[in-house]
Amino acid sequence: MASRTKQKEEARARRLEEERARAERARRDRRLRTVGAIIIGAIIVVGVLIVVSSGGKKGGLQTGTEASATATTVNALLAGIPQSGATLGNPKAPVTMTYFGDYECPICQEFTLQGGFPQLVQNDVRQGKVKVVYKSFCTATCNGPGQTVFNNQQVAGLAAGKQNRFWQYTELFYHEQGQEDTAYANEAYLTGLARQISGLNLSTWQSDRGNSSLAAQVASDESDAHTIGVTGTPTLVFQGPKGQAAASAAVPSYSQLEQAVKQVS
């Protein structure tokens, strides 16, 4: 009798143990399924983020009405403002803003087209209070296609400067900037920009591109940047009667530019 009871108890204990083990297995399986679902979900989410991150940015050489509209905007900004080489504005302006930039740098594009720069040109440069001197410093281009491409595109801008249209070329480059780290700034692109500049003699521009003094100018700009400790673009240095100042922001607003101008005026 006692052994029967004992057998029953043992069977019950075995059954309970099996139930516990089954429940534990089910819980483990459920947890692993949850972890697996989270991992798959995370991979899908990150995949989408990567596609969005590396997705093609609109840009590149414009044609037709789009190119005409851009040219009109650029001409309206620069019309009537004196130019000499890479200098925009009255050469006797009391304040000089030296702009260290790279044509392929997206933040330079942001500053030139959407930051405080257009307002500075419309107001202070147009009124002869400030002149802007562009100096090239290789950042984005050297992180992508390299120094040779950088030299080539900067020389193309300086060659337009030989006909006092450096700033038209520079503005058009930023307006039609392509996707970073792609080799978009090829011969067709550089010549295409030059074709969009009204009044530019294309054959003179082509021959000026071979002028060794322009390549020397690019090297000299790079050397100047290293001398004053420029590490990124855009870097803006203001020089005036009261000394020197730097812009307080990477992409300064017009009021921040004004503040720097007042500081040195």
Partner 1 sequence: MSTAVSTARPRSISLDGKLRIAIGVLSLVGIGIGGYLTYTHYAGLHVLCLSSGGCETVQHSRYSKLGGVPVATLGLAGYIGILISLWIRGELGRALGFGLALVGFLFSMYLTYREAFTIHAYCQWCLGSATVMTLLAILTAIRMLSFEAAPAAPRKPVSRAERRRQMAGRR
If the CB atoms of residues 88 and 236 are measured against partner 1, the closer one turns out to be: 236
d(CA 197, CA 218): 22
Nearest approach in angstroms of CB 107 to partner 1 is 4
DSSP-derived pairing of the beta strands 130-136 and 95-101: parallel
Q: How far is the CB of 86 from partner 1 (least distance, A)?
A: 22
CB of 10 to partner 1, least distance (A): 16
Reading the block at residue 260, the tokens are: 């720097």
DSSP state, residue 123: I
What is the residue whose two structure tokens read 């590490």? 231
Q: Name the minimum Å distance from CB 197 to partner 1.
A: 27
For every residue of 65-121, DSSP letters joined together read HHHHHHHHHHHHHHTT--EETTEES-TT-SEEEEEEE-TT-HHHHHHHHTSSHHHHI
Whole-angstrom distance, CA of residue 236 vs CA of residue 243: 14
Give the nearer residue to partner 1 in terms of CB position, either 74 or 261.
Answer: 261
CB of 250 to partner 1, least distance (A): 6
Please give the distance of CA 265 from its chain centroid, rounded to a whole number: 30
Residue type at position 202: L
Shorter beta-carbon distance to partner 1: residue 122 or 256: 256
Pick 87 or 139: Cβ nearer partner 1: 139
Residue 191 CB, nearest approach to partner 1 (Å): 25
| Closer to partner 1 by Cβ: residue 74 or 236 | 236
- Rounded to an integer, what distance in angstroms lies between the CA atom of residue 200 and that of residue 182? 27
Find, among 172, 177, 85, the residue nearest to 131 by Cα: 85
Residue 139 — φ and ψ, nearest 5°? Answer: -125, -80
Instruction: Give least dist CB 121 to partner 1, A.
Output: 19
Provide CB contacts within 8 A for 189, sequence distance 6+.
60, 61, 178
Q: What span, in angstroms and rounded, lies between the C-alpha atoms of 25 and 5?
A: 30
For partner 1, the binding residues (CB under 8 A) are: 23, 27, 31, 34-35, 38-39, 41-43, 45-46, 49-50, 52-53, 57, 105-107, 139-140, 143-144, 179-181, 231-233, 248-253, 256
Instruction: Rank residues 57 and 195 by Cβ distance to partner 1 and give the closer one.
Output: 57
* Residue 38 neighbours by CB distance under 10 Å: 10
**Residue 23 or 216 having the CB closest to partner 1:** 23
